[in-house]
């Protein structure tokens, strides 16, 4: 059974206005979760720590003066839409599932965020000449790093950094990725997953 309401915990390093918008987002997420699977059912009782705070830990890692971000495989907009709400950013959300794309549009409308929802398959980005210039591209639990870099390449090639949630296999993924990519990266320990890291891709070029 889903909770009726969900209140932001103390300690969120966001403005009062952003906190209110995040609570609105969470309430909407939980309402839609009753109809479509946006987050893992087992994580619903811990939605703030498992999803919202896990997203917000990316904020200090964003490039200075970031204004526009992109999220690959958005799903519920975690972390991309959450970051945009918290920091008042413009966001491009890439999600091929029609129902999830509808949720993203409604969440952006309700929270007043400037969001562009692109209902396309990520493979199409490789040949898309209209990919926007963004400051940062994010993704969470989307794909192994070599494939993720393929998806992110159009953004990285135009100067974006990558911030990717990764799990305990990150070193093996990095080893595999270096066969095709030359990378400048930093690993940040996740604050909310003892086995996870935030992989910051500062530069990536094909070998």
Query: Can you give the CATH number for the domain in which 195 is found?
Result: 3.40.50.150
Q: Give a yes or no: residue 124 inside a domain.
A: yes
When divided into structural domains, the chain yields a total of 1
Q: Is the pTM of this model over 0.85?
A: yes
Task: Answer yes or no: is pLDDT of 100 > 60.
Answer: yes
Q: Give a yes or no: residue 167 inside a domain.
A: yes
Q: Give a yes or no: residue 4 inside a domain.
A: no
pLDDT at 188 (0 to 100): 97
Q: Give a yes or no: residue 3 inside a domain.
A: no
Task: Answer yes or no: is pLDDT of 150 > 80.
Answer: yes
Question: C-alpha dihedral over 190, 24, 45, 60, to 10 degrees?
Answer: 10
pLDDT at 6 (0 to 100): 57
- The 10s digit of each residue's pLDDT in 118-136 is 999 999 998 877 899 999 9
Q: How far is CA 75 from the centre of its chain?
A: 9
pLDDT at 2 (0 to 100): 39
Report DSSP state, residue 143.
S
Full residue range of the structural domain in which residue 178 is found:
16-206
The sign one gets for the Cα dihedral 186, 148, 58, 55 is negative
CA atoms of 196 and 141, how far apart (whole Å): 11
pLDDT at 129 (0 to 100): 78
High-pLDDT (> 90) share of the chain, %? 88
Task: Answer yes or no: is pLDDT of 33 > 70.
Answer: yes
The sign one gets for the Cα dihedral 59, 62, 66, 70 is negative
Q: Give a yes or no: residue 201 inside a domain.
A: yes
Residue carrying the six token digits 């390093």: 13
3-state secondary structure 30-76: HHHHCCCCCCCHHHHHHHHHHHHHHHHCCHHHCCCCCCEEEEECCCC
Q: pLDDT grade, residue 10 (50/70/90)?
A: low
- DSSP per-residue letters across 180-203: TEEEEEEEEE-SS-TT-EEEEEEE
Q: Give a yes or no: residue 22 inside a domain.
A: yes
Task: Answer yes or no: is pLDDT of 59 > 70.
Answer: yes
Q: Give a yes or no: residue 39 inside a domain.
A: yes
Judge whether 80 and 71 are in contact, CB under 8 Å: yes
Q: pLDDT grade, residue 1 (50/70/90)?
A: very low
Judge whether 190 and 57 are in contact, CB under 8 Å: yes
pLDDT at 179 (0 to 100): 95
Judge whether 71 and 79 are in contact, CB under 8 Å: yes
For 21, the token pair is: 């918008």
pLDDT at 127 (0 to 100): 80
Judge whether 83 and 69 are in contact, CB under 8 Å: yes
Judge whether 195 and 167 are in contact, CB under 8 Å: yes
pLDDT at 116 (0 to 100): 97
DSSP bridge pairs for 94: 72, 118
Q: Give a yes or no: residue 59 inside a domain.
A: yes
**Higher per-residue pLDDT: 207 or 13:** 207
**Higher per-residue pLDDT: 13 or 164:** 164
């Amino acid at each position: 059974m889903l909770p009726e309401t969900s209140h932001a915990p103390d300690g969120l390093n966001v403005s009062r206005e952003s906190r209110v918008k995040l609570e609105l987002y969470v309430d909407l997420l939980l309402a839609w979760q009753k109809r479509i699977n946006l987050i893992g059912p087992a994580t619903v009782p811990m939605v703030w720590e498992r999803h919202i705070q896990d997203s917000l830990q990316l904020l200090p890692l964003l490039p200075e003066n970031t204004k526009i971000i992109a999220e690959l495989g958005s799903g519920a907009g975690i972390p991309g839409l959450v970051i945009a709400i918290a920091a008042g950013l413009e966001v491009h959300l890439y999600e091929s599932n029609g129902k999830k794309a509808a949720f993203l549009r409604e969440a952006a409308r309700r929270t007043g965020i400037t969001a562009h929802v692109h209902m396309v398959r990520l493979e199409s980005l490789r040949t898309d000449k209209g990919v926007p210039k963004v400051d940062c591209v994010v993704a969470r639990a989307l794909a192994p790093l070599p494939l993720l870099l393929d998806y992110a390449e159009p953004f990285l090639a135009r100067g974006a950094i990558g911030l990717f949630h990764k799990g305990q296999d990150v070193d093996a993924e990095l080893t595999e990725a270096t066969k095709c990519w030359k990378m400048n990266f930093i690993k940040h320990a996740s604050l909310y997953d003892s086995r996870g890291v935030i992989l910051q891709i500062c530069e990536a070029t094909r070998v």
